[in-house]
Amino acid sequence: MIPNEEQLTRQKRLVRSLAILGLLLAGVMILPNVVIRQTETVTVLSNDVARSCRSDRRFLGPRRHRSSGPSAGSSWLDYCGLVVSDHGSFELPETTWVPWFGPNREELYDLLTVGCQYRIVVSGPGTALKPGGGLSPQNRVLRSAVPVGECI
């Protein structure tokens, strides 16, 4: 059976619509992590995070879990916890099988020590880090951390 012109036109529209939808979804999910980036030198004041954590279930992904919860009396923290620095708060990336944008959560968790200074890169939507910044309800995600100087 040979498709007529009307069927070909519908198929072309469907393919075009799916391509546009795919590009839109990729833009919404990936661009904020690539475009919105900030580099700062910070001192870690508190590291109340779980070593491994997923806060929600992705399609065909692992279920919500964490290796440990925030400390007692810290119920205001995110499900996976927050790192607080002298420039404000930020999150560690969620546990994944493939780290897409740098080191994985477990490597960053092992690296960060309270009282030490780091040159960090955070990305994504959320409150920008600034000197004297406090806790934020919208936090950026840590993408890399390099120790600076001697650790206290």
Confidence at residue 126, expressed as pLDDT on a 0 to 100 scale: 79
* Domain identity same for 20 and 58: no
- Judge whether 96 lies within some domain: yes
Q: Give the residue, 26 or 140, on which the prediction is more confident.
A: 140
**Separation between Cα atoms, residue 99 and residue 84, nearest integer Å:** 23
Under 8 Å CB-to-CB from 114, ≥6 apart: which residues? 44, 45, 46, 47
Question: Domain count of the chain?
Answer: 2
Closest CA to 41 of 122, 95, 104: 122
* Domain identity same for 25 and 70: no
- Judge whether 152 lies within some domain: no
Closest CA to 91 of 144, 142, 145: 142
* Domain identity same for 92 and 25: no
pLDDT in tens, 68-99: 555 544 444 556 788 889 988 898 888 777 76
pLDDT in tens, 2-57: 678 888 888 999 999 999 988 887 776 666 666 678 888 999 998 888 888 776 65
Confidence at residue 148, expressed as pLDDT on a 0 to 100 scale: 92
Closest CA to 96 of 36, 53, 131: 53
Helix or strand or coil: residue 76? coil
pTM of the model: 0.68
- Judge whether 85 lies within some domain: yes
Report the pLDDT averaged over residues 131-135: 83
**Domain extent at residue 15:** 1-35
